[in-house]
Amino acid sequence: MRILVHTEGAERWCEALRQRLNDESLEIFVDDGERLGDILVVWAPPAELFERHVGHDVKVILNLGAGVDSLLQNPALPNDVPVIKLRDAGMASHMLDYVRYGLLHFRRDFDRYAGQQRAGEWAPHRVVRAAHYPVIVLGLGAIGAQIAEGLAADGYPVHGFSRSAHTLAGVTCHHEQGDEGRTLQEVLRDKSLGLKAVINLLPNTEATRDVLNAEVFAALAEDAVLINPGRGSSVVEADLVAALDAGTLRGALLDVFQHEPLAADSPLWQQSRVIITPHAAAPTPMSGAADQLVDNIQRVQRGETLTGVSREHGY
């Protein structure tokens, strides 16, 4: 069986797989633009890779990340091959660190103190405890659920929103489906929740694109903040800039954007209320990811049927 790897730093991934599998019946190699693979291990591959495999019996496509939007949008992606994504693989702990920093930055007024430092102003602010800082996590998949439960354990009042119903320890879960469901906009407009921070971990799907827009920003409390380490497609960036300029939103910590790298002329770079990081919130840890890849490769070897991501739902 042949395992083709297409990604930046592909040889490192090949070596990690060789060490774990130690199976002479497997040929593990970096995509050279010519050879075919029975299992494709990829990140953002070109259409040509799939076009080359037309008529070849590809068993599974293993995606080197939790986000599959770019893969599902590939026009040459075969319809009959399951796509398996990484589920956490250690990314959740990195993501939780990132979100914790964002919440602490705004809850303890470090954004305001930075402005005061530039102005030479000495003015202590009242400390707001986590218990008085309600937050909402949008998207309760494998990573989002861990983030929500981790923040609840930190003492924050945590709300969660997802398409289908979830039950998580210490988290008030809201969902869209069913008779008692509410839309995301309805939940975010609910003043009784007292939300101080919106943490976006929604997947990139037709249903989630542009959902964080002017209407939502206007409905949030004036001192609310946005933390987005999830998907840039969820945010209407022009509306976000307008809300920040108007003071409708207190600030934002942004790791992902509609187009990456973020354009040099984007007004977000010059927005004093924003912290920008370069899609670095939760890099994929090779060790945990390679372990997941090996598990799926061995399942293929055993002839097991793999259930991939939903093409309909996009995750």
Could you tell me where the beta strands, DSSP code E, fall in 31-129?
A: 39-42, 60-63, 83-84
Is 313 annotated in the active site? Answer: no
13 membership: H or E segment, kind and range? helix 10-21
Is 279 annotated in the active site? Answer: yes
Catalytic residue among 6, 53, 231, 250: 231
Nearest to 164 by CA among 150, 184, 178: 178
For the chain, helix, strand, coil in percent to 5 are: 35, 15, 50
Helix 286-301 / helix 10-21 crossing angle, nearest 10 deg: 60
CA distance 226 to 250: 9
CA distance 72 to 69: 5
Catalytic residue among 279, 299, 311, 313: 279
Burial class (CB in 10 A: 0-12, 13-18, 19+), 136: buried
The residue behind tokens 């003015």 is: 123
> Backbone phi, then psi, for 8, in 5-degree steps?
-65, 135
**DSSP 8-state symbol, 309:** -
> Backbone phi, then psi, for 5, in 5-degree steps?
-115, 125
User: Measured at the alpha carbon of residue 5, what is the angle toward residues 68 and 234, in degrees to the nearest 5?
Assistant: 15
Give the active site residues: 231, 279
